[in-house]
Copies of this chain bind each other. A is one copy, B any other.
Amino acid sequence: MSQLTLTRKIALLFFICTAPIMVFAQTITSPDKNFTAQFSLDANGVPLYQLNYKGKAVIKPSTLGIEVSKGASFMDSFTVTNATQTSSNTTWDPVMGEEKTIRNNYNELVVTLAQAKNNNRYIRIRFRLFNDGLGFRYEFPKQADLSYFVIKDEHTQFNLAGDHKIFWIPGDYDTNEYAYITSKISEIPGLQKKATIEINAQQPIPNPSVQTPSMMKSADGLYINIHEAGLINYPAMSLNVEPGFKLSSHLTPDAVGNNGYMQTDTQTPWRTIVVSDKATDILASKLILNLNEPTKYKDVSWIKPVKYIGVWWEYFVAGKSTWAYGKENNVKLTDDFSKLTPNGKHGATNERVMRYIDFAAKNGFDAVLVEGWNVGWEDWIGNWKEEVFDFVTPYPDFDVKKLNAYAASKGVKIIMHHETSASATNYERRLDRAFQFMQDNGYNAVKTGYVGQIIPRGEHHDGQWMVNHYIHVAERAADYKIMVNSHEAVRPTGLNRTYPNWIAQESARGTEFEAMGGLAPEHTTILPFTRLMGGPMDYTPGIFQTDLTYYKTGGNQRVNTTLAKQLAYYVTMYSPLQMAADLPENYERFPDAFQFIKDVAVDWDNSYVLEAEPGDYVTIARKAKGKDEWFVGSVTDENSRTATVNLNFLPKGQKFTATIYADKKDASWNKNSQNYEIKTVEVTSKTNLKQFVAPGGGFAISIRVKK
């Protein structure tokens, strides 16, 4: 560990850079020397940073600053009163993850910046440079003249070196469920309107902007991913897109237009820039997790991976079933729901749930999610209504005690569902009772939902208040030893390290859209580079019934993948919580393909990103946690290809049996999508498989030691 302390009395160092003369500059390098990051201060006392990778500019000199609502801002007039460099190289073991052990290796620069004109009020900017990129954040230490302040805006620039290709969704304070657009950065303003498709409860940012994680590729082959880590007590950041390939922070405002309420000692989340000349390195990066704080939970033994099925997908199937029990379209929590007129299609009935429990037990699933179990679904959406659900009252045809006892007798858990309809206030005031109800009835996991406009009214899904809400729910759930899977929450930023019971999130356009207009075949070749950079996604794969006309939306509705590709997702879309989303009866039609879902692990010792190109393809192999079993998944976009699966990650000198679940030659995402073939081959660590992938297709492989 090296340490260098500078004071204003020390002679200032001058560096040559593209910006005007700097009155201070200091550079750090990554442990492997591939990166250099420079902090500098210009003649006006404005802080800047820049980032190079293998001699190429990734971020050109970019200003840093925080604008405050009242009083002086942290924007300029700074002097450097201290600059300290340290190094760290440690490892840690996540509770669940893609790797059993994660290395955390970086060089750090902490610059203390004081404003003489404001009673020497000071902040710190902390840079951590890893072998896979840069993280930095603003810190506001406790000090005599700074206790409370309100953030009006953050002015962090990311001045890119060129007009990169970018995989993006438009900036929005309330939803991440847009379809990805691939364009040049310069094309974003022209495409913004088209990209802003209609989504429930959206609040698009008016100016050209994109959400993070934002994935880019430069003309000279650099892959660049910008996101944030450790989003706590701060609004989520989108990126303004300004001329000259300049991106800058755009925070989510609150109900009165402020961006954040701060009390020292405090800090912003980390701003992260993951960079490599290999796309596979981006997917393998653990930079965001490393920048999150270790968990403070003392006991994590109750946090476990979950493979589950659920009474859910059938709600999208034509003529099948509904969340709601009654025919009425105007109900209140004070109503007697047993007096409603049954609509005859209620999904979460005792009989139906027992059928799912039987199927789960028979096929080795851990749990059954049941949506539509509780009163309030008759008119739950679109009315900005506060008291929609109470989270403790079942419909008359759902017997909580009986069903949990039945599930327990079969070794299966029921997953609780708490749709909040975005009425977070209502959820918080009932949260303790809801979790106590879960504990009393044997539930240990909850799927939360935030569909609709947020209450407190005027707040947004991605604002500071809601960011704190999701964390409050996760922490309170931990008090009851409950795992959380949140849907429609702010996109993740690696907080599953700190709150490991927050095991997965949706926070993107997930499989449900296959039943509501379809997803582009390339969608799942982009998600690992964008949404999944922040953390595990409950993508809810495993849809075997890909036929036309099966779904409620009708028309050209179909699932835009091959069946084999659905199997690949269990490996390519990392999550310790994985659903087999289709109906039991659909799985029973394809028992040989279903075998892969039964076999595949959901927690891992090691992961190997074998091939990847955002928008084109992803091939990943993983070793099951604590087992000599390996699984491979590979997906492609609308183009057929031949994947290369180099099995050199297998132990040397042993023979293995690989079962390959692959597209047939005539399969594609929009024709013969259920045509797959299963073959078994002997492999070793020297095997280099070449595997056909159909248009919009994929394949999955399970590998076991040969008996």
Contacts and interface: CB of A to CB of B under 8 A. Distances in A.
B459 A261 contact: no
Interface in A135-187: 142, 147-148, 150
Nearest to A432: B432
Q: Looking at chain A's contact residues, is the secondary structure mostly helix, strand, loop, or mixed? A: loop
Interface in A323-365: 329-330, 332
Interface stretch (A252-260, A495-503, A636-644): A252-260
Nearest to A459: B456
Nearest to A147: B330
Contacts of A242: none
A84 interface: no
Given A429-B429, A432-B432, A456 B263 contact: no
A330 B457 CA distance: 30
A328 to B, nearest CB: 10
Interface stretch (A124-132, A379-387, A511-519): A379-387
Interface in A590-643: none
A675 to B, nearest CB: 48
A458 interface: yes
Given A255-B256, A458-B458, A429 B384 contact: no
Contacts of A193: none
Given A142-B330, A147-B379, A425-B425, A457 B456 contact: yes
Contacts of A439: none
A456 B425 contact: yes
A433 interface: yes
Contacts of A431: 429
Nearest to A329: B147
A472 interface: yes
A576 B431 CA distance: 34
B428 A383 contact: no
A101 interface: no
A264 interface: yes
Given A147-B379, A261-B385, A457-B458, 15 more contacts: A147-B383, A148-B330, A148-B379, A148-B383, A255-B459, A258-B457, A263-B332, A263-B385, A386-B468, A425-B425, A425-B428, A425-B456, A428-B428, A429-B431, A458-B458
A330 B263 contact: yes
Interface in A249-280: 254-256, 258, 261, 263-264
A199 B256 CA distance: 21
A457 B464 CA distance: 12
Nearest to A427: B429
A428 B432 CA distance: 11
Contacts of A383: 147-148, 261, 263
A431 to B, nearest CB: 7
A148 B472 contact: no
A492 B402 CA distance: 46
A384 to B, nearest CB: 6
A198 to B, nearest CB: 18
B255 A330 contact: no
A150 B457 CA distance: 13
A457 B264 contact: no
Given A147-B329, A432-B432, A433-B432, A458 B385 contact: no
Interface string A452-465: 00001111000001
B458 A256 contact: yes
Contact of A457 (B147, B256, B429, B432): B256
A252 to B, nearest CB: 14
Contacts of A254: 457-458
19 contacts: A142-B330, A147-B329, A147-B330, A147-B379, A147-B383, A148-B379, A148-B383, A148-B385, A150-B384, A254-B457, A255-B456, A255-B457, A258-B457, A261-B386, A263-B330, A263-B332, A264-B330, A428-B429, A457-B465
Contacts of A379: 147-148
Contact of A472 (B256, B429, B459): B429
Interface string A355-398: 00000000000000000000000010001111000000000000
A142 B150 CA distance: 45
Contacts of A433: 432
Contacts of A261: 383-386
Interface in A414-428: 425, 428
Contacts of A472: 429
Nearest to A428: B429
Contacts of A384: 150, 261
Interface string A263-300: 11000000000000000000000000000000000000
A98 to B, nearest CB: 31
